[in-house]
Structure 1
Amino acid sequence: MSSSVETGRITTDIPARMDRLPWARWHWLVVIGLGTVWILDGLEVTIVGSMSEALKDPTTGLGLSSSDIGMAGAVYVAGACIGALFFGQLTDRFGRKKLFLVTLAVYTLATVATAFAPSATWYFIARFLTGAGIGGEYAAINSAIDELIPAKYRGRVDVAINGSFWVGAALGSLLTIPLLDPTIIDPAWGWRLAFGLGAILAIGILLVRRNVPESPRWLFIHGREDEGEQIVRDIESTVSHETGRDLPPVSETITIRQRKTIGIGMIAKTVFTLYPRRTVLCLSLFIGQAFLYNAFFFTYGDTLTTFLDVKQTGWYLAIFALSNFLGALLLSPLFDRLGRVKMITGTYVISGVLLGVAGFVLGDLTAVSLTAFGAIIFFFASAGASAAYLTASEVFPMETRALCIAFFYAVGTAAGGISGPLLFGKLIDDASASGDITHIAIGYYIGAVLMIAGGLVEAVLGVKAEGKSLESIAQPLTAEDAHSPGGPAGENEPAHA
């Protein structure tokens, strides 16, 4: 018998009970245990950008060129794409918790390997494996967070958590200041210690993450409703105790046919046949933000040192990172209040237009004015980019959630995140040879067009998901089997919860 064959049929109120919970300290456990992974990603990306000069030194570094720095960024992103797809399908099959522990372990081991890299080849391989761990985290963590956070808070929490990438970026920027100071630390050890710090932080996150439960939504779909019921009762008891009030009863239920796994064929049909508009939407959002960020930020430190005579990039990158985090944090409540469509459209279009203007005046900018320009652009872009992950997590059925996040992350990031660093690395080399910084403006223009296009696609195809349960935005495939013998409802048909 195939593992995807029906194992039972149940009616449950677990989704409604999870969504009616008031915010409590327990939810902060989820945010800290799961959301802090973006700090690791930000730390990784920033260290690479800040360490570009140290890695180029053939004596104390690895003798990398500007193109090699871009290649390292591309290799990291390629690993993230493959890791997202590989671990994403395992997350939907074996559960959120198992995979968010495994992927963090992969990241930790690979980061330690990076710190001990004896050659450029070793460094590239370690960066690929580090990216694979982070890519797997994106799939496992986004799905787990959205299934554990109440609908009322899901938008702001998801956007703010994804924006915490920039806390890691700021930390990475500031840490590189003493680590790259030869009067404090030997240059041969400074960049290695920077990577080692990422592993130490990961171990701390792992200790907190062990206490985060499996998603009850995943459990009842996969025939483990008793375990899911017990977890929800424990959460309700904890939240009631922490808030000091009784929880109101719920009346909404959902009936589903349980299956141990959902075949890859059904997942593909879901994405491309049942929800084609949402597929186009997610691809547009991911490609735009991936090119913008991976192109600009992976090579920003190299741009400062190569053209603008900046010896220590840490302070510049820290300011840039702070603006990004503040944008995600301060704008995140508006994704629940004003709605997803208005906010995503606005943040994408505004940041795209401003990036185009920056490219036009690039030749007249100094290190300070370029950083100021970047800070304003990415104040808006960070909130929009974070909402891309929120969108992919919300608008597809639960059984496919992790793999859908992985798919759009991988395809969008491969299109924008691999080509971006490679293009910018080549542009920087060419511009360096000619001594003209304006040669890299073409990268800014491409990023601007892709971001504006993503915003316009959101305006036309965006889903108004604010305040709605996940099951009403995209009905579970197994519930559609139970209620609709003719097949699952598509994006143009109302889903019932």
Structure 2
Amino acid sequence: MATKPDRSTASVRFRLTLATQVGEGIDGYILGGLGAVVPAVTTALNMSAWMVGLIGSSALVGIFVGGPLFGWFADRYGRRIVFLTDMLIFLVGSIAQFFVQDAWQLFIIRLLMGIAIGGEYAIGAPLLSEYAPKANRGRLLASLEVSWYVGYMVAFAVGYALVDVPDGWRWTLASSTVIAVACVSLRGGIPESARWLLSKGRRAEAQALIERFDMDVDVDAEVADAEPRNSLRALFTREHLRSTIFASTFWAALVLPYFAISTFYPQVLGALGLGDDALAGSLASNGFAVLGVAVGCLLVERIGRRRLLIPPFWITAVALAVVGIWPNAPIAVVVICFLVFSFLNAASSALTAVYPLEVFPTSIRTTGVGFATAMSRVGAAIGTFLLPIALTYVGVGFTLLIGAAVLALGGVVSQFLAPETTGLDLSHAVRAAHKATVSAS
């Protein structure tokens, strides 16, 4: 006789969802907080343009390390330990930022926090996906991106509010401590993933969790799809290589222009002639991004993954190309193009919390997500590092044309490799992805 879900089921599910949402929000907050205080930090620490770019990209470089490392660890040893450990790193790093005395100290701290962010990408959404029902899995996972953009926007608002406060940049960077403390308290007692237990042959333990949480899991499919090979090596086998290429490329193409431009929004918009309104313009663009990802969250189950991904790639490429070709356009044209870019790029970015989780089997899911995260941040880190230099030496027009080309590349790759996984059980979505990539070859 099946065991009825116990009275704590709703509470644990709520805590898991909230803990993942807050974790995603702190990722955005930590990355956005720096963008809000770049001018103040540059002055306070007497940084060159090269050092500004290095610190701006430091967290992204950390993600490159943390994503695969924590992802591999979570596939090998379990989800729970990584889910808590990376948040403890956030907590320590948030406090340490307040006490930095030079640019190199800030770089090292941001690098370590980036490693933790990589761990969060590799474990947060995958763990939630393994408990999510298929009917609204896409919407639930996409809503994580709403939290990310809200966190990013709130960090900008906090930086804007503290801009005239003595050491306001220190308080802005350290304010993520409050969020980290709340998230650590939420993550204690979260259960292990039943799907991960199945991938390790621990069927009895997994079955108990499935019954306790009334989960709709195809147990036989999960067991059959278990990957016996090393999880990192398996990403490059014939079965999974195209999924690896797709997840890495579409994610990188979405975030490279966004991180590069949004980290230095005041400078970019200032170079385009918005002058003293540059910071206000960056807040407006981030507000449109929050609206865009919320719309993407609502549409992901209605119109399907492919329709939410491919058309926005082309539209945003055109938006950046217009400003790149016509940098002296009327302010209204510039603002409209940037708002279109912010809105649609964010709407598609909802899929960065969905697609990578649906194209890899449970046994290599966090490794696959971690690797895709790392690859996406390679481009984002390069773009963030080079953008202030490019603005200085080649101008804003050429810089934005490069961003448009990256978006167009994402559209081409997605057209050929993106599977349609809407409405499928997680294990069946993986099989659909495999079939799509095989037929594409």
CA deviations 1:430-483 (Å, max 9, x no partner) are 36xxxxxxx12222112212212212322222111001011112259xxxxxxx
Query: How do 1:276-355 and structure 2 match up within 5 A?
Result: 276-304=241-269, 308=273, 310=275, 314-355=279-320
Percent identity reads: 22
For 1:123 and 1:40, locate their aligned partners in 2 and report how far apart those are by CA, in whole Å.
18
**Are 2:162 and 1:192 aligned?**
no
Residue in 2 aligned with 1:89? 72
**Are 2:330 and 1:374 aligned?**
no
Structure 2 residue ranges without an equivalent (≥5): none
Describe the shift of the 1:252–1:85 C-alpha distance in structure 2 as closer, same or farther (beyond 3 A): closer
Give 1:28 deviation, angstroms: 4.2
**Are 2:384 and 1:421 aligned?**
yes
Describe the shift of the 1:346–1:90 C-alpha distance in structure 2 as closer, same or farther (beyond 3 A): same
For 1:145 and 1:251, locate their aligned partners in 2 and report how far apart those are by CA, in whole Å.
14
Describe the shift of the 1:448–1:304 C-alpha distance in structure 2 as closer, same or farther (beyond 3 A): closer
Describe the shift of the 1:315–1:26 C-alpha distance in structure 2 as closer, same or farther (beyond 3 A): farther
CA deviations 1:24-45 (Å, max 9, x no partner) are 7765433311122222122122
Structure 1 residues 267-276 or 148-157, which shifts more? 267-276
Whether the 8 Å CA contact 1:76–1:127 is kept in 2: the answer is: yes
For 2:120 and 2:211, locate their aligned partners in 1 and report how far apart those are by CA, in whole Å.
27
Aligned residues: 434
Whether the 8 Å CA contact 2:234–2:364 is kept in 1: the answer is: no
Describe the shift of the 1:319–1:255 C-alpha distance in structure 2 as closer, same or farther (beyond 3 A): closer
Residue in 1 aligned with 2:400? 444
Structure 1 residues 461-470 or 334-343, which shifts more? 334-343
Residue 208 of structure 2 aligns to a residue in which SS?
A: helix
**Are 2:123 and 1:140 aligned?**
yes
For 1:145 and 1:41, locate their aligned partners in 2 and report how far apart those are by CA, in whole Å.
16
TM-score (norm 2): 0.89
Give 1:177 deviation, angstroms: 2.4
Residue 50 of structure 1 aligns to a residue in which SS?
A: helix
Give 1:212 deviation, angstroms: 3.2
Give 1:302 deviation, angstroms: 2.9
Describe the shift of the 1:197–1:262 C-alpha distance in structure 2 as closer, same or farther (beyond 3 A): farther
Residue in 1 aligned with 2:426? 470
CA deviations 1:72-103 (Å, max 9, x no partner) are 12222111110111111101111112101101
Give 1:347 deviation, angstroms: 1.9
CA deviations 1:150-203 (Å, max 9, x no partner) are 11111122222123211012211211123111xxx21xx211111111011111
**Are 2:364 and 1:400 aligned?**
yes
Matched letter for residue 342 of structure 2: F
Residue in 2 aligned with 1:207? 185
Whether the 8 Å CA contact 1:394–1:473 is kept in 2: the answer is: yes
Residue 336 of structure 1 aligns to a residue in which SS?
A: coil
Residue in 2 aligned with 1:118? 101
Give 1:140 deviation, angstroms: 0.7
CA deviations 1:237-288 (Å, max 9, x no partner) are xxxxxxxxxx9xx795416669999542x64234441133323322320221
Give 1:309 deviation, angstroms: 6.6
Residue in 1 aligned with 2:48? 65
Residue in 2 aligned with 1:8? none
Matched letter for residue 388 of structure 1: T
Matched letter for residue 125 of structure 2: N
Matched letter for residue 312 of structure 2: T
Describe the shift of the 1:425–1:262 C-alpha distance in structure 2 as closer, same or farther (beyond 3 A): farther
RMSD value over aligned CA atoms? 3.1
Whether the 8 Å CA contact 1:349–1:456 is kept in 2: the answer is: no
Structure 1 residue ranges without an equivalent (≥5): 1-12, 237-246, 432-438, 477-487
Describe the shift of the 1:269–1:56 C-alpha distance in structure 2 as closer, same or farther (beyond 3 A): closer
For 1:69 and 1:357, locate their aligned partners in 2 and report how far apart those are by CA, in whole Å.
28
Matched letter for residue 55 of structure 1: V
Residue in 2 aligned with 1:481? none
Query: How do 1:353-368 and structure 2 match up within 5 A?
Result: 353-364=318-329, 366=331
**Are 2:139 and 1:175 aligned?**
no
For 1:284 and 1:251, locate their aligned partners in 2 and report how far apart those are by CA, in whole Å.
29
Computing the radius of gyration from Cα coordinates, the structure with the larger value is 1
Whether the 8 Å CA contact 1:91–1:140 is kept in 2: the answer is: yes
Residue in 2 aligned with 1:479? none
For 1:251 and 1:361, locate their aligned partners in 2 and report how far apart those are by CA, in whole Å.
53
> Which among 199, 216, 220 is matched to residue 254 of structure 1?
220
Structure 1 residues 124-133 or 373-382, which shifts more? 373-382
Matched letter for residue 310 of structure 2: T
**Are 2:61 and 1:98 aligned?**
no
Give 1:65 deviation, angstroms: 2.9
Residue in 2 aligned with 1:161? 144
CA deviations 1:113-158 (Å, max 9, x no partner) are 2221111110110110111111110001121121111111111222
> Which among 194, 200, 208 is matched to residue 216 of structure 1?
194
Whether the 8 Å CA contact 1:222–1:258 is kept in 2: the answer is: no
Whether the 8 Å CA contact 2:129–2:357 is kept in 1: the answer is: yes
Residue in 2 aligned with 1:235? 213
Describe the shift of the 1:387–1:115 C-alpha distance in structure 2 as closer, same or farther (beyond 3 A): same
TM-score (norm 1): 0.80
For 1:490 and 1:47, locate their aligned partners in 2 and report how far apart those are by CA, in whole Å.
39
Structure 1 residues 170-179 or 383-392, which shifts more? 383-392
Whether the 8 Å CA contact 1:173–1:315 is kept in 2: the answer is: no
> Which among 29, 34, 39 is matched to residue 20 of structure 2?
34
Describe the shift of the 1:424–1:270 C-alpha distance in structure 2 as closer, same or farther (beyond 3 A): closer
For 1:474 and 1:491, locate their aligned partners in 2 and report how far apart those are by CA, in whole Å.
11
Describe the shift of the 1:466–1:258 C-alpha distance in structure 2 as closer, same or farther (beyond 3 A): closer
Whether the 8 Å CA contact 1:170–1:317 is kept in 2: the answer is: no
For 1:490 and 1:338, locate their aligned partners in 2 and report how far apart those are by CA, in whole Å.
18
Whether the 8 Å CA contact 2:141–2:354 is kept in 1: the answer is: yes
Residue in 2 aligned with 1:79? 62
Matched letter for residue 228 of structure 1: A
For 1:370 and 1:201, locate their aligned partners in 2 and report how far apart those are by CA, in whole Å.
35
Whether the 8 Å CA contact 1:170–1:319 is kept in 2: the answer is: no
For 2:436 and 2:258, locate their aligned partners in 1 and report how far apart those are by CA, in whole Å.
33
Describe the shift of the 1:93–1:490 C-alpha distance in structure 2 as closer, same or farther (beyond 3 A): farther
